[in-house]
Amino acid sequence: MTDYPKHCAFSGRLVMVGFGSIGQGVLPLILRHIDMDPTRITIVTADERGRAEAQHYGITFIEKPLTKANYVETLKPMLGKGDFLLNLSVDVSSVALVELCAELGALYLDTCIEPWPGGYTDTSVSPSLRSNYALRESALKVRTTHPNGPTAVLTHGANPGLVSHFVKQAMLNIAEDTGLNVGVPQTREQWAALGQKLGVKVVHIAERDTQISSVPKRRGEFVNTWSIDGFISEGSQPAELGWGAHEKHFPHDGSRHEFGSGAAIYLNRPGVTQRVRTWTPMEGPFHGFLITHGESISIPDYFTVKDGDKVVYRPTTHYAYHPCDDAVKSIHEFAGKNFVQQETQRLIMDEIIDGVDELGVLLAGHAKNAYWYGSQLSIQEARELVPYNSATSLQVCVAVLAGLVWAIENPDQGVVEPDEMDFRRCLDICLPYLGPVVGAYTDWTPLEGRGTLFPEDVDGSDPWQFKNVRVV
C-alpha cells in the first residue's frame, strides 16, 4: 500500500456542502492527505449522488437541499470555532455561507462564488449585477464586515484557483528564460511590476478537453466531464474578461461596470455563444468558449499597476475553453433550444475511454511571444492516481485539497483569493496529481493564417488585441 504524506492535521469538524463529481473526487484526497478523524466529516447535499461512497468511507451523509430559509438552522449546529465548511454546491449562496462561517469562527473554501437559485439567469436584473464581477465584489465586502475573521478561501478549484498559481510560476519561468533576475516577488505590487516588466499583455486560461466516451451523446441530453449544472450556469452568464491597458478597440457589445475595481468588462451575450482564439501545446491553435470565470477578474485586478488613478498596466485575461467534444455538441443543442436545458444530463466518468484535459495559462505579448504552462493529465493517469475521478475532476479536486491545507495552516487570514495565497505551497501539493506539467513557447499569434479565405478587420500592429483574439 502506498504511504501517502499527511500535509497537515485537523482536529475540527468538516462539513461538505454538495457531493457531486468534485465532492466525490476530493473525499479520498482529504482522507489520504489530511490527518483527521473520518467520523468528524459530514456531507450535506441535495440528492442521493455519492451516498454509496460516503458509506464506504464511514462518512455521515445527510440528504437535505439548503435554501435561504433553512441553511442557518441546518448548518449552525454542525459548525463552530475552528471547524471547516467546504462548499462544493450549486444554487447555494457563497456569500451567505462565508458570512455564516465568519460569525461562527469556522474556516471556509469554495470553488466558485454561487448565488441563490436564479441569480445567474434572472433577466429582470441587469447583466452587470448577475455577473461574476458583481458576485466577487459582494464576497470581498465581507472583509469590511469581518476584517479579522477566520480564513475564507474564495474560488479555489482548478480554475479559478490553480491557474493563478500557474500564472506566477509561468512569469518566473519567462523571467529566467529572458535573463531577467528578479527573485521571487513577495507582494502584490511586486508581482504586478514583474508582469509589467515582462510585457505580458494577455493571459488566456487555455483549456482543451479531449476525453471521449464509449457512449456517444444522444439527442436531448447534455453530456460533460464535470458538473453540468455548473457549466450551464456559468455558460448562460454574460461573457466576462479582464480588460487590459494595451487594448485599443473597445468591443461594440461590451460594457463596463459602474462599481468596484473596474478590472473587467462584460459582453452583452452568453459565454457559450462567444468563441476566442487560443493555443495549447498538444492541440495547437483552436477556438474556445469565452466562459465567465472568477480568475478572469481576480488575476487582472491583482496584476494592475496604477499611476495615481490611471491604469498603466493590466493584462487582458479570460477563459478560453474547449470542453470535450460531446459537451460542444450539447452546447450547440442547448443554444438551439433558446437556452432551455435538455431533459437528460449525463456526467461521464466510468465510460471515458481515452483523452487528456490540457489545462494551463497562455501568457503572451512578451519578448518570447507566448508561453503556455500547465497540466496535461490523461484519464488513464487520473484513474491510477485517485478513485472517483476523471482527468477534469482531479485537476479541480487536488486544488481543493491544496486550498484546504493552506487554510488550515493559515486559519486567521479573513477572506482570501487564490492570487493572495502561497503559490509554491499550493503547487507542491498539486503537482503529484497533475500528470505532465509542462511549459512551452510558441510563435503562434491569433493573426496566424488569417485572411486566407475571407478578408477580416484585424489590427495588424498588435496581434494581442482582443479584437484579433475574438471570433466574429
- Judged by DSSP in three states, 238 sits in strand
pLDDT score, position 122: 78
pLDDT score, position 450: 85
Q: Domains in the chain and their CATH numbers?
A: 8-153 (3.40.50.720), 162-393+423-471 (3.30.360.30)
**Local confidence band at 243 (pLDDT 50, 70, 90 cut-offs):** very high
Residue 86 parent element (H or E): strand 84-87
pLDDT over 70 percentage in the chain: 99
- pLDDT greater than 80 at residue 2: no
Average pLDDT over the chain reads 96
Instruction: Name residue 97's amino acid.
Output: L
Q: How many C-beta atoms surround the C-beta of residue 39 within 10 A? A: 10
pLDDT score, position 1: 47
- pLDDT greater than 50 at residue 247: yes
- Judged by DSSP in three states, 362 sits in strand
Are 326 and 353 spatial neighbours (Cβ–Cβ below 8 Å)?
no
What is the torsional sign of CA 20, 26, 28, 30?
negative
173-222 pLDDT, tens digit each: 999 999 998 899 999 999 999 999 999 999 999 999 999 999 999 999 99
Mean pLDDT to the nearest integer, 22-38: 97
User: Within 13 Å and on the Cβ side, how many CA atoms surround 418?
Assistant: 31
More confident residue, 279 or 148: 279
- Judged by DSSP in three states, 239 sits in strand
**What DSSP string describes 294-330?**
THHHHHHHHT-EEETTEEEE--EEEEEEE--HHHHHH
Mean pLDDT to the nearest integer, 230-238: 92
Q: Which residues of 419-450 are buried (b: 16+ CB within 10 A; e: fewer)?
A: bebebebbbebbeebbbebebeebebbbbeeb
For residue 183 the three cell numbers come to 527573485
State the pTM of this model.
0.97
pLDDT score, position 384: 97
What CA–CA distance (Å, rounded) separates 409 from 5?
16
292-347 pLDDT, tens digit each: 999 999 999 999 999 999 999 999 999 999 999 999 999 999 999 999 999 999 99
Are 37 and 57 spatial neighbours (Cβ–Cβ below 8 Å)?
no
Q: How many C-beta atoms surround the C-beta of residue 185 within 10 A? A: 17
Are 122 and 130 spatial neighbours (Cβ–Cβ below 8 Å)?
yes
Are 342 and 222 spatial neighbours (Cβ–Cβ below 8 Å)?
yes
**Local confidence band at 148 (pLDDT 50, 70, 90 cut-offs):** confident
What CA–CA distance (Å, rounded) separates 2 from 413?
34
356-404 pLDDT, tens digit each: 999 999 999 999 999 999 999 999 999 999 999 999 999 999 999 999 9
